[in-house]
A and B are shown apart, each in its own frame.
Chain A
Amino acid sequence: MIKTNNLENKNSVSETPQRTRTLSGRKPDDLEVIRSVREGNTSDFSILMDRYKNKAFSLILRMLKNRMDAEEVLQDCFVKAWKNLDSFKGDSQFATWFYRIVYNTTLTKLTGKKRETEKEMLSIGEDVDIRDEHADTSAATLERNRLLGALIAMLTPNQAAVVNLFYLDGLSCEEIAGILDTNVGNVKTLLHRSRATLKNLIQKKNLHEELR
């Protein structure tokens, strides 16, 4: 049987008061969670999943542009992270290490499916629905999301990855270069091209004033 005496108990009413006292009032950081998982508390891996699943899913879906494939890849990414957890030395952040797995797994999926060329040919008007079902649904937000959805559909997987990591995760171009295994110059080019694409979209659709 797998031990269920996990780290989540530290933040709630716990049966192990000593452990609670040592970490009370704060969430265990990624390294603490990883240590616990390595000690055999497999279910603590859920803490890491809760922390990164939405961000990873956003990255995968924006690169793949297909929800079913994205769900499958997300599972694969977590299973890979679990299997390779021993190779995570802690000299970089877990997020960066994990995003590298996410990016590479998604690329492998793309290579297998040859989906990218198909999706890149989508015209501006065709909106691939990769918006968040749970997001705010006010008119202004809907319009903004629609535009963003249309933009992401027009981006190449690499551009989508850079935009997502830069704007959503707030990573620097240097960190993104590490994840994509490329140089900072390439990351900046991808970012600038994405902005230019969106700029052209706004210009073409005459949405400049609406977005102000």
Chain B
Amino acid sequence: MKHYDEEFFNKMLDDEITAEEKELFFVHIKECTACREQYRLFQSAHTLLLSLTEITAPEEINNLVLKKIMKPAAKKKNEKRFFITVLSGLTVMLLAIFGIVAKFGGTEPKGGNGLFDNLGNFKFDTSILNKILSPFSSISKLISPDSVLLVTLLLSSILVFFLIERTKKN
């Protein structure tokens, strides 16, 4: 008599056997004690494995992991914030210089005494500034100086507002 092998018992457990084959098997184990015993043992092993339970992870695992991952995350965020602040600061400075040149560029100090001219306005000596900032000056001459100053002030205010908002969020 040909006995059934381990592969067959495993297939029985995984329900990979046709109804016909199953019928033949059950007829066989009615007569064959060896195969019946082997099949029962496999069934017991399968049932035992089905009772496999979860092993509880240590309680502190979340905190330990969060500590590890939050450090680099915070560092990365700080670096980003620093970069944005520097970039914004530089933009504001550039816009301010651009605005000043647009307003005063190309004008020579008018007469008057001390810090004020004849009209009583603050006297701004732009002769040195003009030399340094001549490229800006030539661009700004193309546009109306007052409107450039206005736009500069507006953009600067928006930037400052965003910077404050960002700092608040973080």
A-to-B contact residues, CB < 8 Å? 1-2, 42-43, 45-46, 49-50, 53-58, 61-62, 71, 74-75, 78-79, 82-83, 130-135, 144-145, 147-148, 151, 163-164, 167-168, 188, 191-192, 194-196, 198-199, 202-203, 207-208, 211-212
Q: Report Cα–Cα, A129/B53, bound state, in Å.
A: 14
**B68, CB-defined interface residue at 8 Å:** yes
Known: A50-B62, A53-B61. A211 touches B44 (CB 8 A): yes
User: How many residues of chain B have a CB within 8 Å of chain A?
Assistant: 34
- Is the contact region of chain B dominated by helix, strand, or loop, or is it mixed? helix
Can you name 10 extra interface pairs (CB under 8 A) apart from A82-B65, A199-B41, A208-B44? Answer: A42-B66, A42-B69, A54-B54, A58-B55, A133-B56, A135-B53, A151-B48, A168-B53, A198-B45, A208-B40
Once the chains bind, are A202 and B44 in contact (CB under 8 Å)?
yes
The interface-forming segment of B6-14, B94-102, B112-120 is B6-14
B147 proximal to A (CB < 8 A): no
Nearest-neighbour CB distance to chain B for A61, whole angstroms, equals 6
Question: Are A57 and B6 in touch, CB under 8 angstroms?
Answer: no
Q: Which chain B residue lies CB-closest to A191?
A: B10
Known A134-B56, A198-B48, A212-B44; judge A2-B64 contact (CB<8 A).
Answer: no
Could you tell me the distance between the alpha carbons of A187 and B94 in the complex, rounded to whole angstroms? 66
Minimum-distance CB pairs A-B, first 7: A57-B57, A198-B45, A53-B57, A54-B54, A199-B45, A78-B65, A58-B55
Across the interface, do A195 and B55 meet the contact criterion of CB distance under 8 Å?
Answer: no
A46 touches B62 (CB 8 A): yes
Give A71 to B62 CA distance when docked, in angstroms.
12
Contact call B48/A74, Cβ cutoff below 8 A: no
